[in-house]
Amino acid sequence: MKERQKFLRQHVDYPRTKVPDAQWYCNLMMKRRHMATSKYCKHLNTFVHMEVPQIQAVCGPAGEPTMGDLRESNSSFPLTMCKLYRGSWAPDCNYIGTSAVNRIIIACEDGYPVHLETEVPDYRELEK
């Protein structure tokens, strides 16, 4: 249960918090979700802007098995990727934000998402 709650806190923001741009969004959300603190800055994090049941469905019929215990979504999701700005340190964590719409790759336990792969090459594109 703890891993599920951590996944929701770190990766799900639906509906997307309204801010002027992706950088402002990342700086706000990384602090709000306790991934940027006075002592620590998480280097990379992706937020998924979709309802929990649709993300959870990737653990079942809406996803396909991929490497190891990972599953790739059949459809794309709106995302915001937050990457720590080079030279940025706690307590002044500063992020570069990028918005995208892409498939997600997650690890599931007992039918629930517990981990999101942040940087994923598009294997289907590589096969073409």
Q: Where are the alpha helices (DSSP H) in the chain?
A: 2-11, 22-32, 52-56, 123-127
Specify the long-range contacts of residues 113-116, CB closer than 8 Å, at least 24 apart.
113/4, 113/7, 113/11, 113/55, 113/56, 113/58, 113/59, 114/3, 114/4, 114/6, 114/7, 115/3, 115/7, 116/7, 116/10, 116/11, 116/46, 116/48
Catalytic residue selected from 34, 43, 49, 115? 115
Catalytic residue selected from 11, 34, 43, 49? 11
Calpha distance 65→81 (Å, rounded) = 23
Task: Note if 11 is an active site residue.
Answer: yes
Task: Note if 34 is an active site residue.
Answer: no
Residues designated as active site: 11, 115
